[in-house]
Amino acid sequence: MNTSESPSPQRRFNTRLGLFLFLVYLALYSGFVLINAFAADKMEIIVLVGLNLAIVYGFGLIAFALVLALIYGMLCQKDPAEDIATEEAAAAPGDSK
Amino acid sequence: MIYDPAPLAIFIFLGFVFGTVGLSFYLGRKAKSSEGYFAAHGQIPWAVNGVAFAGDYLSAASFLGICGMIAAYGYDGFLYSIGFLAGWIVALFVIAEPMKRLGKFTFADALDAKFNSRGIKGAAGISTLVVSIFYLIPQMVGAGSLIQPLLGLPHWVGVVTVGVVVIMIVVTAGMVSTTWVQFLKGSLLVIFSTVLVVMLLQKGLTTDTSSFETIGPLSEQDLKQSTIAGRKVIPPTGGWLSTEGKTQEFIRFVPEDGRAGYDVFHIDDIPGSDEKLLRQAQSVTGSGASKLIDGAPNGRESGERELQPIGHLSKLPGGKTSTGPLGPISFFTTIGDSEVILWGSTTITNPEGPKTTIYYQKPTSGERVLRPGEHPKFAGIRGESFGDKLNFLSLMLALFCGTASLPHILIRYYTVKDGSAARKSTIVGIATIGFFYVLTLYLGLGAMTSGALDLTDTNMSAPLLANSIRPWLFAVISAIAFTTVLGTVSGLILASSGAVAHDLLIGVMGIKLSGETQVKVAKLAAIIVGGIAIILGVLFKELNVGYLVGWAFSVAASANLPALVMLLFWKKTTKEGIIASVLVGMISSLGWILLSRDTFKSVYGLDPDNAIAPFSQPGIITIPLAFITLIVVSLYYRSRDMGAQEASA
């Protein structure tokens, strides 16, 4: 537990990256929800290979979540503080009665 | 519907349940320590934990509730799939790493990491309990629905069975076994749902015009005769009469073949014509053992009637009667160009005796079932009422924020070794869960056109779709769905028992417990929470499980997320702010739900117009309210403390 320590540059990078990707997804999700709420008729428009906007946007949101998750997983940096904590935990497994 | 229990189904089902419980015993035998019981010593491989996330998350709501909602109304149920998955983005990008870094056993650990406050432990512990119990209700309702067709037993038997088996799992096991059971269940659910979708696409779509009768076209004059199309009309009385301002909607005939009861038909307009069509309907009067189906006792003996399975296409494009195998895209485009028979319902009051609910056919263009707004609870997005639109926004906000606030999901971050493993397991979780949610639209629409649905229980749509394809698949899917419920309920009860033993007894009351005693107390708490869940599962059996889960998400998102997010991202957060935010979020959302239209109608049986809350989903008000409470209270206490420091200096 190291909330009082200043975070490592790696952790700061990860946090900012996470927030950025979160905002990207939030914008897309909000778009979907707002179209549904205030222009539901638009969801019937056929947009791709005979499929309407509701299905394409809905499947797109699911697929895009995975794409963003993979980007995040690839770009995230290893926090050195974690290695120390993991080693300490391995050395003292704690309550194992 | 009356279900025939099949020996194969029972055999496969019992095999799954005994296998699950056996695995739990085997894996749980070493989990004596608190680290082992609550957090599996943090040694679960991330890939396994990721699939176990899917096992935990893809509960009865996802499999039974969403598929059922899509089967009954079309696309609207898929909105839940989208919202549920989007919530994982909050979990991955905002919550995953800090949760792992800050906590040890429970959600309260993370919230309290900075302050070591009894108040925070207490508030977070209570909120964990409340959210878990709320989330338990739909799981138990789903379990009851599953047991009925599978073993031919009443709903409450299913609820009690799940309760007892889960209590056994949790009491004998802990997080190691729960995780492996979830891993197994998550994998099987996704694999067999994929098999089901592939078989569904192979089978293609067919029309059915023979299961229910259609009479007509008829003129207004024809409808006034005592005999229509050679069938004798039963003169309408009581609620069957046309009432002032409302034309007569149904006609009853004396059955032709000397059967008991009556044949009921809905009077349908023919678009662009003055003539009418009579489409066969089905009616249920009363409930329980005295239930009447189309005026005759419920049963299969002579003099009895039973509800017929529903769900079919009345027209395919080009006048075809069968499509043959379809691809994943042509499945949707074909349904879009077809006509589907959905079922509406209305209730009439009889002067003496119980009410009659009449279910009638509603031919609906395929385009309409592939767009949002067909379900009564979502129809508001196509209306003019701003309150209805707000209700929709509120639900979608709660789904988005709720995932990252569910205690049984949050504690899964403690079972891996570090933040990086937490991240990776979330990505695996998103891939597995996302893939499954794509399948829900196929499963739901497949069930809608399967001809196998139960009119009175939408929760059974996915298993009944499997039954219409292959009976063995029905047994396997039902068994997986049942273990799905078992797994999710185990996770929830584990989270609740952790909250009682670790947060409330040790954290708040300051009772010193050794690791082993802590585990014993947690197991006792598991038995009590399990008992409560059984009772609630029996009480709420009428509601769609997906809808119930929407409420649980609202409470979780309002009580837990604001405090967690502000703790991570706002340095001025104080312990008083966190406590106030958790309590205000929890009480306001819970209070709102209890005072909403849906609760008035479905739970209390009162007139929904008397409801106090202006719309049913609280999130859009109560989530911001919890944020504002945290900010205001934190600023107040900071300025007060700073003032006190200055005074003492």
Of the listed ranges B37-46, B103-112, B625-634, the least confidently predicted one is B37-46
Asked whether the beta carbons of B163 and B148 are under 8 A apart, the reply is: no
| Mean pLDDT on B415-441 | 86
Of the listed ranges B25-34, B86-95, B132-141, B148-157, the least confidently predicted one is B25-34
Does the pLDDT of residue A59 top 80, yes or no? yes
Distances (CA, A) of B359 to B41, B285, B336, B342, B347: 54, 11, 24, 10, 9
Asked whether the beta carbons of B555 and B134 are under 8 A apart, the reply is: yes
Q: What is the mean pLDDT of chain A?
A: 82
Best mutation target among B33, B37, B101 (most A Cβ atoms within 10 Å) is B101
- Judged by DSSP in three states, B414 sits in helix
Spatial CA neighbour of B78 closest among B339, B332, B371: B371
Asked whether the beta carbons of B545 and B60 are under 8 A apart, the reply is: yes
Q: Say how far apart CA B211 and CA B208 lie, in whole Å.
A: 7
User: According to the model, what pLDDT value does residue A2 have?
Assistant: 42
Spatial CA neighbour of B235 closest among B246, B244, B245, B224: B224
From chain A, the residues in CB contact with B371 under 8 A are 40, 43-44, 52, 54
| Mean pLDDT on B519-525 | 80
Considering B216-230, B231-245, B430-444, the range whose residues carry the highest mean pLDDT is B430-444
* Side-by-side strand order, sheet with B292-293: B296-297, B292-293, B282-285, B356-365, B339-348, B312-315
Contact status of A6 with chain B (Cβ, < 8 Å)? no
* CATH superfamily to which B7-24+35-204+384-640 belongs: Sodium/glucose cotransporter (1.20.1730.10)
Spatial CA neighbour of B575 closest among B122, B98, B101, B112: B112
DSSP per-residue codes, B528-560: HHHHHHHHHHHHTTTS-HHHHHHHHHHHHHHHT
Best mutation target among A5, A46, A66, A76 (most B Cβ atoms within 10 Å) is A66
Q: A54–B371: do the CB atoms touch at under 8 Å?
A: yes
B188: which DSSP letter?
Answer: H
Does the pLDDT of residue B54 top 80, yes or no? yes
Does the pLDDT of residue B321 top 60, yes or no? yes
B647–chain A nearest CA distance, Å: 26
| Mean pLDDT on B301-305 | 86
* B98 preceded by a cis bond (ω within 30 of 0): no
Does the pLDDT of residue A3 top 70, yes or no? no
Q: B94–A86: do the CB atoms touch at under 8 Å?
A: no
Cα angle A18-A24-A30, degrees, rounded to a multiple of 5: 125
DSSP per-residue codes, chain A: --SSSPPPHHHHHHHHHHHHHHHHHHHHHHHHHHHHHH-GGGGGSEEETTEEHHHHHHHHHHHHHHHHHHHHHHHPPPPHHHHHHHHHHHH------
B262–chain A nearest CA distance, Å: 41
Pick the more confident residue, A83 or B75.
B75
Measured between CA atoms, the residue of chain A closest to residue B441 is A55
| Mean pLDDT on B158-178 | 75
From chain B, the residues in CB contact with A14 under 8 A are 97
User: According to the model, what pLDDT value does residue B31 have?
Assistant: 55
Does the pLDDT of residue B444 top 90, yes or no? yes
| Mean pLDDT on B475-495 | 79
pLDDT tier for residue B105 given thresholds of 50, 70 and 90: low
Does the pLDDT of residue B30 top 70, yes or no? no
- Using left for φ > 0, alpha for ψ between -120 and 50, and beta otherwise, residue B424 falls in alpha
Does the pLDDT of residue B198 top 90, yes or no? yes
| Mean pLDDT on B217-241 | 85
| Least CB–CB distance from A97: residue in B333, B372, B515 | B515
Distances (CA, A) of B508 to B206, B516, B578: 62, 19, 15
User: According to the model, what pLDDT value does residue B544 have?
Assistant: 63
What percent of chain B is predicted at pLDDT more than 90? 26
Does the pLDDT of residue A89 top 70, yes or no? no
Spatial CA neighbour of B133 closest among B469, B528, B505, B613: B528
Q: B114–A3: do the CB atoms touch at under 8 Å?
A: yes
Asked whether the beta carbons of B513 and B521 are under 8 A apart, the reply is: yes
User: According to the model, what pLDDT value does residue B175 have?
Assistant: 65
User: According to the model, what pLDDT value does residue B98 have?
Assistant: 79
Of the listed ranges A91-95, B112-116, B237-241, B348-352, the least confidently predicted one is A91-95
Of the listed ranges A76-90, B367-381, B490-504, B508-522, the least confidently predicted one is A76-90
Pick the more confident residue, B105 or B102.
B102
| Least CB–CB distance from B35: residue in A18, A66, A95 | A95
From chain B, the residues in CB contact with A36 under 8 A are 79, 372, 381, 392, 396
Does the pLDDT of residue B347 top 90, yes or no? no
User: According to the model, what pLDDT value does residue B624 have?
Assistant: 95
Spatial CA neighbour of B96 closest among B422, B343, B346: B422
Does the pLDDT of residue B607 top 60, yes or no? yes
User: According to the model, what pLDDT value does residue A92 have?
Assistant: 44
Q: What interface predicted TM-score (ipTM) does this complex get?
A: 0.85
Write out the residue limits of the CATH 1.20.1730.10 domain(s) in chain B. 7-24+35-204+384-640
User: According to the model, what pLDDT value does residue A77 have?
Assistant: 84
Q: Which two tokens stand for residue A51?
A: 């499929």
Does the pLDDT of residue B631 top 90, yes or no? yes
B86–chain A nearest CA distance, Å: 7
User: According to the model, what pLDDT value does residue B235 have?
Assistant: 86
Q: What is the mean pLDDT of chain B?
A: 84
B231–chain A nearest CA distance, Å: 42
User: According to the model, what pLDDT value does residue B243 have?
Assistant: 56
From chain B, the residues in CB contact with A44 under 8 A are 367, 371
| Mean pLDDT on B279-283 | 92
User: According to the model, what pLDDT value does residue A53 have?
Assistant: 96
User: According to the model, what pLDDT value does residue B454 have?
Assistant: 86
User: According to the model, what pLDDT value does residue B265 have?
Assistant: 93
User: According to the model, what pLDDT value does residue A95 have?
Assistant: 37
Contact status of A97 with chain B (Cβ, < 8 Å)? yes
Q: Which two tokens stand for residue B390?
A: 């707000």
Does the pLDDT of residue B107 top 60, yes or no? yes
pLDDT tier for residue B361 given thresholds of 50, 70 and 90: very high
Alpha carbons within 13 angstroms on the beta-carbon side of residue B418 total 15
Does the pLDDT of residue A96 top 70, yes or no? no
Beta bridge partners of B250: B266
Does the pLDDT of residue A51 top 50, yes or no? yes
User: According to the model, what pLDDT value does residue B36 have?
Assistant: 57
